[in-house]
Amino acid sequence: MSDRAPNMKDERRPALLVLADGEVFEGEAAGAAREVSTGELVFNTALSGYQEVVTDPSYAGQVIAFTYPHIGNYGTNRADDEAPRPFCEGVVVRDITVAPSSWRSVEGFEDFLVRHGVPALTGIDTRRLTRHLRTEGAMPCAFGTAGETELVAAARVALSTDGRDLVSQVTTSRPYVRGAGPLSVVAYDFGVKETMLAHLGGLAKVTVVPASTPASEALALEPDGVFLSNGPGDPAALGSLSDTVADLVGHVPVFGICLGHQLLATALGGSTYKLAFGHHGSNHPVKRLSTGQVEVTSQNHNYAVRDVPGTEVTHVNLNDGVVEGIRSTTAAAFSVQYHPEAGPGPHDARYLFAEFCEHLNVCAAGRPGT
């Protein structure tokens, strides 16, 4: 088996994608081709931003199927990485571009996948695949150049994200600092994206800490606020992290995004549940209840929150009514399920970082000697 991308499409080897329910799709091996790869299969509807999608740590344990038919048109570059490497288990596309065209491109998308060891499939009927997942829900899968019998067996035992702590696989092993300024933020890395840190770094000195950092250690840094990042896996499997968040609320302002939103909700006494096929894309309409304004948002999550006592719902998904934002009625703590930083996606919701900054300033002004 070779980890080198083929130079021409006619050099590709036949490959199969087999879902846990036995559905089979024919295609060709691409990227860092393997005989067998497994993961939970989800689809993403974004028309661009494939590099940011693939390098989002929230996809750990998952295989990403792109609904847009042509992926790789404008190549890749280091500036668009959301993490040092992809954590996804694979990529499925209708057609992967072998000759990208963009002045920003420094490497083709397939070469990028090969360099990072990410297996892929191309030539898949992604329209049929997406319709199947919309009907049957996201599910484990197996894909590669092995025979159908072997792939069927692998798909049957492949893992979903249910009950799994995947945060420990993506979080930083040691603290590091981003940004500078008079304000101070501790950012919990549950799988944080670079675009989030860029926004926060424009507001304050940001100390990024491992997910396992106790609340006492975070508060000992005397931050003006705490940020809870996005991340992968099942929030119900992260009880210790939820307990940490509970110990932070009420001491400093807290702002959570995606998994951070789910952990804040459970810390406040709420619960989570798994969506049938999740929200993965860059055009989800969300209503901001305080103004009635509709925001077009970027999203990437399989789980959602409900029944959070002591909070008000601030944002709602107009497609399916999912709670997209909450705010505590007793503490400076708020969160959203979607991605206001985009990367990729629209910028409609970036005002949330300004709201967090207002809380930071209030906290800083109340400190002795300020």
For this structure, is 341 an active site residue? yes
Same domain, yes or no: 217 and 133: no
pLDDT for position 369: 59
Q: Which one is catalytic: 82, 301, 341, 357?
A: 341
Same domain, yes or no: 149 and 187: no
Q: What is the 3-state secondary structure (H, E, C) of the chain?
A: CCCCCCCCHHHCCEEEEEECCCCEEEEEEEECCCCCEEEEEEEECCCCCHHHHHCCHHHCCEEEEECCCEECCCCECHHHCCCCCCCCCEEECCEECCCCCCCCCCECHHHHHHHCCCEEEECCCHHHHHHHHHHHCCEEEEEECCCHHHHHHHHHHCCCCCCCCCHHHHCCCCCEEECCCCCEEEEEECCCCHHHHHHHHCCCEEEEEECCCCHHHHHHCCCCEEEECCCCCCHHHCHHHHHHHHHHECCECEEEECHHHHHHHHHCCCEEEEEEEEEEEEEEEEEECCCCEEEEEEEEEEEEEECCCCEEEEEEECCCCCEEEEEECCCCEEEECCECCCCCCCCCCCHHHHHHHHHHHHHHHCCCCC
Residue 8 has pLDDT above 90, yes or no: no
For this structure, is 363 an active site residue? no
Report, as an integer, the average pLDDT of 126-139: 98
Q: Which one is catalytic: 141, 258, 357, 363?
A: 258
Report, as an integer, the average pLDDT of 142-156: 98
Condensed to tens digits (0 to 9), the pLDDT of residues 166-207 reads 999 999 999 999 998 789 999 999 999 999 999 999 999 999
For this structure, is 136 an active site residue? no
pLDDT band per the 50, 70, 90 thresholds, residue 141: very high
pLDDT for position 2: 39
Q: Which one is catalytic: 339, 357, 359, 363?
A: 339
Residue 5 has pLDDT above 60, yes or no: no
Same domain, yes or no: 174 and 136: no
Same domain, yes or no: 22 and 87: yes
pLDDT for position 10: 58
Domain assignment present for 253:
yes
Report, as an integer, the average pLDDT of 98-127: 97
pLDDT for position 6: 44
**In terms of residue numbers, what domain contains 256?**
167-365
Same domain, yes or no: 193 and 142: no
Same domain, yes or no: 221 and 346: yes
Are 326 and 265 in contact by the 8 Å Cβ rule? The answer is yes
Same domain, yes or no: 29 and 145: yes
End position of a domain, from candidates 138, 157, 176: 157
Same domain, yes or no: 13 and 96: yes
Per the structure, the count of domains in the chain is: 2
Condensed to tens digits (0 to 9), the pLDDT of residues 39-49 reads 999 999 999 99
Domain assignment present for 286:
yes
End position of a domain, from candidates 134, 157, 180: 157
**What's the CATH number where 24 sits?**
3.50.30.20
End position of a domain, from candidates 127, 157, 187: 157
Same domain, yes or no: 284 and 147: no
Residue 293 has pLDDT above 90, yes or no: yes
Report, as an integer, the average pLDDT of 20-34: 97
Same domain, yes or no: 53 and 148: yes
What mean pLDDT is reported for the chain?
95
Domain assignment present for 153:
yes
Domain assignment present for 143:
yes
pLDDT for position 3: 44
pLDDT for position 346: 87
Report, as an integer, the average pLDDT of 314-321: 97
Same domain, yes or no: 210 and 240: yes
pLDDT for position 217: 98
Condensed to tens digits (0 to 9), the pLDDT of residues 232-283 reads 999 999 999 999 999 999 999 999 999 999 999 999 999 999 999 999 999 9
Return the percentage of the chain with pLDDT > 90, whole number: 91
Same domain, yes or no: 175 and 200: yes
